[in-house]
Amino acid sequence: MDKILFNRMEFWGYHGVFPEENKLGQRFYVDLELSCDLSYAGRSDTLNDTVNYAHVYTTTKQVVEDERYALIEAIAERIATRLLTEHARIVEVLVRVVKPDPPIPGHYQSVAVEIKRERT
């Protein structure tokens, strides 16, 4: 299966279980791996035969910046659901949401979740 990759998209969101996270907000990074058949687009060189990158970015941005969740697991699930629903060409999506500098005891650069969902 062919892949379209989005690497380290950066957004500002108000997600978390602590009140400070919901008030102050923080950076989130999102990586996507979209599985789809790109052979039509490769032959036609036409945007209508592939997944519109701008639309994928906008959808991801809306989920992270316009919605609020306690868990990054929920952010990842919502992104996957929307992308599979809105783009018929996407067969499977892998979503990684990274939360840098989480407010938990210890020394962490980041925490992340990665989910893979496929069209049913």
User: Which domains, and CATH codes, for the chain?
Assistant: 2-118 (3.30.1130.10)
- Predicted local distance difference test score (pLDDT) of residue 105: 78
Predicted pLDDT of residue 72: 97
Query: What pLDDT score does 30 carry?
Result: 98
Note down pLDDT in tens along the chain; length 120 residues: 999 999 999 999 999 999 999 999 999 999 999 999 999 999 999 999 999 999 999 999 999 999 999 999 999 999 999 999 999 999 999 999 999 988 777 777 899 999 999 998
Catalytic residue (one of 3, 23, 99, 116): 99
pTM of the model: 0.95
Place of tokens 């990274």: 98
99 an active-site residue?
A: yes
Q: State the burial class of residue 101 (Cβ atoms within 10 Å of its Cβ: 0-12, 13-18, 19+).
A: exposed
State the distance between the two ends of the chain, measured CA to CA, in whole angstroms.
Answer: 16
Residue 91 DSSP code: -
Distances (CA, A) of 96 to 45, 49, 54, 72, 83: 29, 26, 18, 9, 14
